[in-house]
A and B are shown apart, each in its own frame.
Chain A
């Protein structure tokens, strides 16, 4: 395939993904908007007003970057894992496997599709947050880089999960037992300065902490970790997960007999 044909195949996958998640928008776009609004109301307004300030900002302003990031992470992951596994389950993945679309294009298409949903949900949550707080941008390039790379990273994670999954239960195990706890413990609702020394150390091995803080740095200018180290870590993880995903596709793990 020539580059133009490969680009057409890539766009086809992305458009198909966007068509899929917009067709079922009450399942894909609405729930995170409702959940995050509840977070804003309960944690930000009702409880947050009693907490006072955190990291030099009122509590609502402090949690908004974390909540945006949380919605981006879960939506990017969920889109790819559910879409790719459904294709495996229905065997419609064979449509792609018999075509000359290169493996890296298949991966890029799915990751891009996950990013469109993740970033779309992130945008909706950002707009909702404006009803509760005034959002300032401290350093826009950091905001954009962090959110794009984090979205790509978790879309890749969703892809690997889908490749490994053999039944529908398998696609909810990682989000429920790994992703959600790591996100909640990743400094979305608090600064790790509040934790005892030991737990601060434990928190430092949570990769989501770096992403949340890098994003928070871009918006508020405060962070528990060095945001540039965080960006570097995300990039390294993206490279590793991309290589793993491509190897799986090449070997046909779970999709070729």
Chain B
């Protein structure tokens, strides 16, 4: 049941946020008029530094935070006028563990289904399905406090999915999870998305957003800085740094015409390449110097470079305007 929307069809919006503002009692304005639209079937990332307003935005969508003004619609259901219908379409995986540590895994998931009005028999079937999918079935009778950190994260995903929501929101789902488990969670989320579940995630691992998401919004200081496709965003990246392992032990970085070079701490060659230059010039010059490239990788996550650039630029502009 893949729900890819063709270009001709009018878009079905899983989430529509317009003019969203949040001012806390202390006077701090966490959101300064956010507009955000997420299509049905999308895999969407909301990125931003700590305190940017990501969790506040998602908290308002899930009705854990009261908004000051603006509107939020989940699959067309306005949270001001049709909150119950909006919530039925929504599954939430929060940043912090928020289940009773004393309850058993199976009870936590079936109880959540009950809150959505799902009868016990169906709740048990659904809980079994998702606990098996997430590798927690053998832990069904274990109190939640006995689970490892990664298992607790998976438990929260199973709990969020037990009522089969159309929109799944994950706030830092892989924080503190080891690489192997993170990869298996990515595979699971990709499968959910392929089967039609719209997914919105916030993450600090920009590699995660780059690997999983099709569309991205960058938020900072309560404002959306960019809201576009990942492809479009990455096309703005002008300079990439490539790390090359060579057949020689280099003591100094070779000088390459038109390219900045240096050696990293382990002696590998780093070359900065402007997008319009291409890599052929690098290889040709290295070849003429008798240096063979054995392997190559990008130095850092491309999205991370762009993200840092945007956030730094925003901070500079804010400073100037003040």
Contacts and interface: CB of A to CB of B under 8 A. Distances in A.
A91 B96 contact: yes
DSSP class of B's interface residues: helix, strand, loop or mixed?
loop
A1 B24 CA distance: 31
B60 to A, nearest CB: 9
A9 B100 contact: no
Q: Please indicate which of the listed interface residues B63, B83, B107 has the most CB atoms of chain A within 10 Å of its own CB.
A: B63
Contacts of B88: 1, 100
Contacts of A13: 114-115
Nearest to B143: A23
B129 interface: no
Interface string B89-129: 01010101011111100010001101111111000000000
Given A8-B117, A99-B87, A94 B159 contact: no
Given A9-B116, A23-B102, A257-B24, A100 B87 contact: yes
B66 interface: yes
Nearest to A16: B111
A11 B63 CA distance: 23
Nearest to B84: A100
A8 B119 contact: yes
B117 A257 contact: no
B303 to A, nearest CB: 29
A98 B65 contact: no
A4 interface: yes
A105 to B, nearest CB: 9
A5 B117 contact: yes
A90 B97 CA distance: 8
DSSP class of A's interface residues: helix, strand, loop or mixed?
helix
B63 A98 contact: yes
Interface string A217-257: 00000000000000000000000000000000000100011
Interface in A72-110: 86-87, 90-92, 94-102
Contacts of A9: 114-117
Nearest to A87: B100
A18 interface: no
Nearest to B62: A98
B116 A5 contact: yes
Interface in B219-272: none
A2 B84 CA distance: 11
Interface in B47-101: 59, 62-66, 83-85, 87-88, 90, 92, 94, 96, 98-101
A91 B144 CA distance: 14
Given A9-B117, A95-B112, 10 more contacts: A5-B117, A90-B99, A90-B101, A91-B96, A94-B92, A94-B98, A99-B115, A99-B116, A100-B88, A257-B65
9 contacts: A8-B117, A9-B117, A12-B111, A95-B159, A96-B115, A98-B87, A98-B90, A99-B115, A257-B59
Interface of B: 24, 59, 62-66, 83-85, 87-88, 90, 92, 94, 96, 98-103, 107, 111-112, 114-120, 159
The 10 closest A-B CB pairs, nearest first, are: A5-B117, A12-B114, A99-B115, A100-B84, A91-B98, A100-B87, A257-B65, A8-B117, A92-B100, A98-B62
